[in-house]
Structure 1
């Protein structure tokens, strides 16, 4: 049975080209950053003609936005061990894993440059990171409920301070980020949270 005009067979050449272009876009962003990534460089890496990319996405902004949206399923593990220190450590290691992945690296580099000039890309990135920030909410709510953290502890603020040292190493000092760095960030945030630093009055 023939396909209606303008449609593509699932898993066919169109789908394969899209997957190759998305992967190439993320790789370019991770290696070169937003400013140095071009439709031509993506097409070359993906092994497709640049007109194929222009025909579907038309602009770099749309291409980058769709590539990041396509990776939205990348998740950070939400642990529930009953040990708050271990939960935060696991969460921090999850953040480190995302930041050092191709997807995370691409998102971070785009955050630094592309989001400043493209509202479309900026919105995608806000959604991308917001979805990861909310991962800490169940951990904090459980800890508050059983008295391990003070009432009123702000989950999102806690998560921001958990991730901040790791982002600093990636964005500011360009240092490698390992599990030891993640563990240190988790320990510092736990001490601050227990002292009521993140309590919202």
Structure 2
């Protein structure tokens, strides 16, 4: 997880890393795997360990921001407002977006957290 010294910087770097992961050759494979896991016979089970680690790492990033006196969103907010749109883009358009997409999604979550 990135540590740029600011929540906005960390989230933008996180979004870019996610974008890179999904844009690479393994992106569509990852999407298919996630769908298969969540739709399979054990779909009520917890997320795969790799995804649980990702959530834990993201929580650590948000906890670091809180310790600096910033007001971070929840992990679920980051997933809903940054990660999910990238997966949706990959699913519907064949691409999770570009760096402008990452910046726009981080700006959106930042604006929403300022109004809460």
Tell me, yes or no, whether TM beats 0.5: yes
Equivalent residues, number: 114
CA contact (8 A) 2:12 2:106 kept: yes
Judging changes above 3 Å, is the alpha-carbon distance between structure 1 residues 106 and 191 closer, same or farther for their aligned structure 2 residues?
Answer: same
The residue that corresponds to 1:70 in the other structure is none
By how many angstroms is 1:81 displaced? 1.7
Q: Is 2:99 aligned against 1:179?
A: yes
The residue that corresponds to 1:111 in the other structure is 34
Q: Deviations over 1:58-98 (max 9, x none)?
A: xxxxxxxxxxxxxxxxxxxx121212211110000011111
The residue that corresponds to 1:143 in the other structure is 65
The aligned runs of 1:42-61 (5 Å cut-off) are none
TM-score, normalised with respect to structure 2: 0.77
Unpaired runs of 5+ residues, structure 1, are 1-77, 197-201
Question: In 2, distance between residues paired with 1:100 and 1:123?
Answer: 28
CA contact (8 A) 1:133 1:159 kept: no
Judging changes above 3 Å, is the alpha-carbon distance between structure 1 residues 124 and 132 closer, same or farther for their aligned structure 2 residues?
Answer: same
CA contact (8 A) 1:88 1:190 kept: no
CA contact (8 A) 1:79 1:90 kept: yes
TM-score, normalised with respect to structure 1: 0.48
The aligned runs of 1:28-39 (5 Å cut-off) are none
| Counterpart selection for 1:99 from 18, 22, 43 | 22
Between 128-137 and 181-190, report the one with greater CA deviation: 128-137
Bigger RCO of structures 1 and 2 (CA < 8 A, at least 6 apart): 2
CA contact (8 A) 1:92 1:163 kept: yes
Judging changes above 3 Å, is the alpha-carbon distance between structure 1 residues 176 and 141 closer, same or farther for their aligned structure 2 residues?
Answer: closer
Q: Is 2:82 aligned against 1:159?
A: no
Q: Deviations over 1:118-143 (max 9, x none)?
A: 539x8696323222233222221122
Cα RMSD of the aligned pairs, angstroms, is 2.6
